[in-house]
Chain A
Amino acid sequence: MLINGQLKYESQKLAMNYFRVALVLFGAQLLMGLIAAIQFLYPGFLFELFDFSVARMVHINALVVWMLYAMIGSVYYMIPDETGHEAVGIALGKLAFWILTAAVAVVVLVYIFIQVGSGSESTIWFINEGREYLEAPRWADIGIVAVVLVFYYNVFFTYLKSEKKTGIMTVMVANLFALAGLYLCGMFFTDNISMDQYWWWWVIHLWVEATWEVFVGTLAAYALIKILDAKREIVEMWLWIEVLMLFGSGILGLGHHYFWIGTPEYWWEIGALFSALEPVPLVAMFVHVLYDWGKEQGHAEAGGAGTAVKNSPAMAWIASNAFGNFLGAGIWGFFHTLPQVNIYTHGTQFTAAHGHLAFFGAYATILIGMMYLGVQGAYGIKKMTMTFKTKMSLFLIIFGVLGMAVALTIAGYEQVLVERADLGGGWDAFFIAQELPWYVQAQAWRLVMGIVTLVGFVYLAWDLLTIGQEVSQKESESVAAAA
């Protein structure tokens, strides 16, 4: 991941820069999660120095930002492949990258060293906005919008320039417009907490349960063609079906966040119905990836070509994505999406369990896969195979995140029964549930599994930095041996 050597297009070199920063922020996310997990068990840890609220804020912000970086990187990487052109405003794109990275660094430093401000508008403008996931202060919001405009300009006008407009690019251009536009819904202040959360969910939900999902569908379509030589017509037809199902369920599925925030009762029915349908496209995406994989592998074997997979680390992560998306977003989401259940699970570790498994299964996996595709391109590798480190990182990260999700689910289950169903919520009910052994044990397992994940990440970072060199060397040796 250290060099761009074999990449022909500036757009793809820029993509590698986005991937590099994404990897650093991914590491930061895990470190912050570790601190927060320790604080659940040892509340005195860094108390009044680096409190849970700070660790948790940086944890979830690093998550969102590394994913956005990897998403922008993925798009810059695919633009030349899909349009046959260099990104039109590449110089501007590079400048935007450095501005964004400088801004992110400043925001993180302020989060870590200043942490909170006085109850005034200036805190919201310069320190943090105090709204989960959207904590970035307003100046940074405006900066992000400017950078995203540059990015979108590059995507849109390069798309217009292409002679043959592919289905993948068409979906990408339309979806990114919605994705970017939705961010604006989170950029205002109101005294009315219900109004605040109503629009806050427009950003959060319509990102992660609609536009980000379509984005993943687009990436998977591109990757299947790239890795397996899957037939474009089939892949693109599936992509349109996925768009239909994802937006058909996800847009009104937004209603499942409007059960208890002051909004009217009709959201119970709307939210329940449409969000219950949300797992359907995720099953379809899983079937689709496995179908294409099996089909292309069959062709390859019939032709005596061995494996159809040109990048097995990327393929492994994309297959993990197909299943992880269904499991984390689909199953774990469905667990608590009906209002009859959600009245007890809302605001418990159930949500945290779902959050961990869904962000990982639906997004982290495929974005890691895209990074491996980038490495393959940068080193000009024809067939990228796994190293020991690839396998270790796959195993440890997947096992670690699954373990965390299961532990948090058990914690959530206990919380639901004891704090909510039995004791009815409130200060005492909360702490009684937090102090019961079942809850504490679950938190301990979460910490253990978090450490497993972190070790897996070390393998991942190490692998991404070295696999290109290793495999390309092997490849050139075998070419030399054959000659």
Chain B
Amino acid sequence: MSKKSASVWTSIPFWRRSAAWVTGVATVLLIWLTFDTMGQISMGSDEDLKNGITKRIPAASVINYHIDYQFDDKRGHEVPVIGEKETFFGKEWSAEEAAKLLHLGKLTSQAKNCMNCHTLLGNGAYYAPDLTKAWLDPKWNDGTMTGITGKASKEEAMAEFLMHPSQYPTHARMMPNLGITKEEAVALVAFLKHMSAIDTNGFPRNFSQSAKRLEGGTHAH
């Protein structure tokens, strides 16, 4: 068979060459698409935010702005909407401060192994809620968690919860105490707020729609 093939379909060199070509073309295409994607997912700048230029991944200083997640008719799903300026932990953070904070937050998210219980952008483990839009979760906005933690703002409530999660149980399944310091907790909240501003093509879909129906308690508790 290998010496004189009856047909090209039973020829090893033919299939070897085809395999090499197909693999090569697929690889080149992937690399080309990667270059394009790298441009689109590199972080925007503080200037972009000031000028209202929308980036898929905004600069860290997006923590100084109000973030919403609204249905976009043209795209057919929800998109993050960056609104007016708002304080974050009672102040406005400079571009450098915000970048430093995000750096610490991302590092902490890895050091505390968040991904092995939660999902981030939908990836991780399925033991705890997805954190992609956690900043926008009604639980932090409807007075539930600010009430339980006794904090005035949602960022302070989030930081307090992260530092002592098992002191504020909401379900039998609790988050364990991971020894998160105040500084790390603030940074983690910044990391979460930044993540909620990422354009995820509408994931999760209909996010927060449940909240309106569930306001005032749910039957599951």
A: residues with CB less than 8 A from B are 36, 39-40, 43-44, 47-48, 51-54, 56-57, 115-121, 123-124, 127-132, 135, 167, 189-198, 200, 233-234, 236-237, 240-241, 243-244, 247-248, 251-252, 254, 258-268, 270, 343-344, 346-349, 351-352, 415, 420-432, 434-435
Contacts and interface: CB of A to CB of B under 8 A. Distances in A.
B54 interface: no
Contacts of A40: 127
Given A56-B125, A118-B111, A198-B41, A251 B56 contact: no
Contacts of A262: 41, 56-57, 121, 198-200
Given A191-B102, A426-B210, A57 B113 contact: yes
Contact of B109 (A130, A194, A263, A435): A130
Interface stretch (B45-53, B85-93, B148-156, B178-186): B178-186
Interface string B87-124: 00000000000010011111111111111110111111
Nearest to A350: B126
B168 interface: no
Nearest to B101: A191
B108 A119 contact: yes
B53 to A, nearest CB: 16
Interface of A is mostly: helix
Contact of B106 (A44, A54, A191): A191
A195 B99 CA distance: 16
A313 B36 CA distance: 49
A194 B22 contact: no
A247 B176 contact: no
Given A48-B177, A252-B26, A435-B220, A130 B112 contact: yes
Contacts of A266: 33
B74 interface: no
Nearest to A433: B220
Nearest to B120: A193
A190 B109 CA distance: 12
A259 B77 CA distance: 13
Contacts of A123: 107, 110-111
A248 B126 contact: no
Contacts of B42: 192, 195
B143 interface: no
B126 A431 contact: no
B107 A119 contact: yes
A236 B12 contact: yes
A330 B174 CA distance: 36
A341 to B, nearest CB: 12
A181 B46 CA distance: 36
A267 B29 CA distance: 12
Interface string B131-174: 01110011100000000000000000000000000100011111
A266 B201 CA distance: 11
Contacts of B187: 119
B128 to A, nearest CB: 8
A240 B16 contact: yes
A-B complex: 9 closest residue pairs judged by Cβ atoms: A130-B110, A119-B108, A260-B203, A424-B206, A423-B210, A347-B122, A240-B15, A425-B204, A53-B116
B72 to A, nearest CB: 12
A346 B166 contact: no
Contact of A237 (B15, B128, B191): B15
A252 B202 contact: no
A243 to B, nearest CB: 4
Given A119-B184, A240-B19, A426 B211 contact: yes
Contacts of B70: none
A380 to B, nearest CB: 32
A135 B112 CA distance: 11
Contacts of B176: 47-48, 51, 53
Interface in B190-215: 191, 195, 198-211, 213-214
B59 to A, nearest CB: 10
21 contacts: A56-B116, A56-B117, A57-B116, A116-B111, A118-B108, A130-B112, A191-B60, A191-B102, A191-B103, A193-B191, A195-B42, A197-B121, A233-B2, A233-B12, A237-B15, A247-B19, A248-B23, A343-B202, A351-B126, A420-B206, A427-B137
A129 B111 CA distance: 6
A194 B29 contact: no
Contacts of A51: 117, 176
A248 B23 CA distance: 6
A51 B209 CA distance: 32
B126 A347 contact: yes
Contacts of A127: 111
B75 to A, nearest CB: 8
Interface in B30-83: 30, 33-34, 36-38, 40-43, 56-57, 60
Nearest to B173: A43
B125 A53 contact: yes
Given A240-B15, A426-B210, A195 B205 contact: no
A428 B139 contact: yes
A284 to B, nearest CB: 12
Contacts of B103: 191
Nearest to A253: B26
Given A119-B180, A119-B184, A124-B111, 5 more contacts: A40-B127, A47-B174, A130-B109, A251-B26, A352-B126
A131 B23 CA distance: 28
B41 A52 contact: no
B55 to A, nearest CB: 10
Nearest to A47: B176
Given A56-B117, A197-B123, A428 B41 contact: no
Given A193-B195, A424-B206, A428-B211, A198 B121 contact: no
Contact of B41 (A189, A192, A270): A192
B54 to A, nearest CB: 13
B1 A233 contact: yes
A252 B137 contact: no
A137 to B, nearest CB: 11
B200 A261 contact: yes
Contact of A167 (B16, B18, B184): B16
Contact of B184 (A118, A196, A234, A427): A118
Contact of A420 (B124, B125, B205): B205
A432 B203 contact: no
Contacts of A260: 121-122, 132, 200-203
